Structure 1
Amino acid sequence: MPHDLLVLIDLSPARSQRLEAAGYRLHVTPSAAIEAVLTNGSIGFTAQQMTDVPRLGIICAQGAGYENIDLAAARARGIVVTHGPGTNDESVADHALALLLAVVRDIPQADRAVREGRWAQSRHPRPMLSNKKLGILGLGTIGQKVARRGELGFGMAVGYHNRQPRQGTCATYFDTLPGLAAWADFLLVATPGGVGTRHLINDAVLAALGSEGYLVNIARGSVVDNAALTRALAQGTIAGAALDVVDGEPLIPTPWLALDNLILTPHIAGRSPEAMQATLQQVLDNLDAFFVGQPVPTPVPELS
């Protein structure tokens, strides 16, 4: 018998068909019939939404993040919450390096200049990535994969800031984020979202990064203070930034549209075909296990 699944994220027809073929009846609005929810960390699922679907037994967060799911409310109701760690890490790490290369080497602007007949005017020198210093905020799985690409691919020195030092890494630990920013040529945001990381990238951190420094964010838009970044880019406090995520997305701060030292992509770092297939399969594995009474493969950790 089909199970009723409330889908809060965008799904392609092929992905919807795959869920339906696996025995799930898809809904886009809440109803009393809903037994499962498919969401992600950015969209989340609130306590009130849980109240509105009294038969709900499982919430699946597509991707690793789950910061906007009310875990306390879910646990109080006995609702299982799962997420998708490891399914899109390689894709996100690839995109992080693509953004870094694009902003440091001025690729979009150079392409536009050539197309507009401004060949000579666009041939200004741009920095290298090789042998520079890469600072990473959040040395989790994705952060480590970016670090490996930077170190092995470009000979970068790698530093990082976490709440605590991470064992088993050769990267240099910095106990403050401004200290990491002051050391780094490039600062990559790879930390989870949520209240604890909101606006960690602020005026002070951007000032420490400096006028030759670059910021890349492939984590959550909420980690970066939009107003502080606007000031830093407009005033030359930092050299440039490249963002795949924006606080308040898909809305973009109007001043950003005029900034030539800012590159934006529409939250696509994890949207490679390979990653999307793996992510959906993990959702199905969790749903299938739950509905046959087995432990789900990737529950959100109890201490979250």
Structure 2
Amino acid sequence: MEMLVSSVEQGSLSAAARKLRIPVATLTRHINDLEALVGTKLLVRSTRKLDLTDAGADYLAAAKQILEQVDEQQRRAAGEFTAPRGELVITAPVQVARLRLLPVVDQFLAQYPEIRIRLLQSDRNVDLIDAHVDVAIRIGHLRDSSLVATRVGSLRAVVVASTELLTKRGMPATPEDLRGYPCVVFDSPNLSTWHFRNPDTGEISTIAEVPRLLVSSPDAAVDAAIDGIGATLVLEHDVAAAVSAGKLRHILQEFEVEPIPVHLLHLSRKVMPMKLRAFIDFAVPKLREKLAEFGRVPSV
């Protein structure tokens, strides 16, 4: 069942074999044995992709439920529901993990010696079920879901530019001044499109400028802005050090939108493992404290 689920999630038998660290021939044989056992085809295989048959789709849904039940029973047998122990899988955006979460994780591990943590750092939202994640830290407004969310703070999205660029191109007085202005865009779910709020009317506007440089990490956006390539929009904690050092300057502060919320998420469970309860109780107040210094829109 695990091999079937992995094959579908990965999109091919070879990709699933690599993830499971087994030969493709072994995985193929077990899938064939499973189909022989249930008496029907579950997968339609081509050179390019895998497709589920109707029976395969039904079986896959049931297999996921069964594997989840097996996993829960193994957790019970390991004592995870009677004491805080075992592996805890956490996912968080790269910079939030490095700047805000890791100090909390370090303190937590010192207090709970029987818990191990696997930290997945990604600026893309990881599926908690598919990736077997216990806890996620998410930046941005949440979509309706079955996840349990606890707000732990917020982060300002700020526009910054180097003194060199501002001297050369002028200080933008309004968001409209950014049209035609060289910009470095961090390609992320919350910052790819630049939003601004009119301080008088509260109206939200969008600047969809073609970037001079498009990057996939906030560090690269900040470095490019320091080099004078263009203005950039990043989260305040990404640029705090460069601003303090005088390498970059805030611009258009009075047009900032409301700070972006940060939540801690986990799956809804009938019975929560004690390692998860211990981490939530420990981390939520500490994350709120660490994020409290950010998220406040400056008075102008």
TM-score (norm 2): 0.31
Higher strand share: 2
Q: Higher relative CO (CA 8 A, sep ≥ 6), structure 1 or 2? A: 2
Structure 1 or 2, whichever has the larger Rg, is: 2
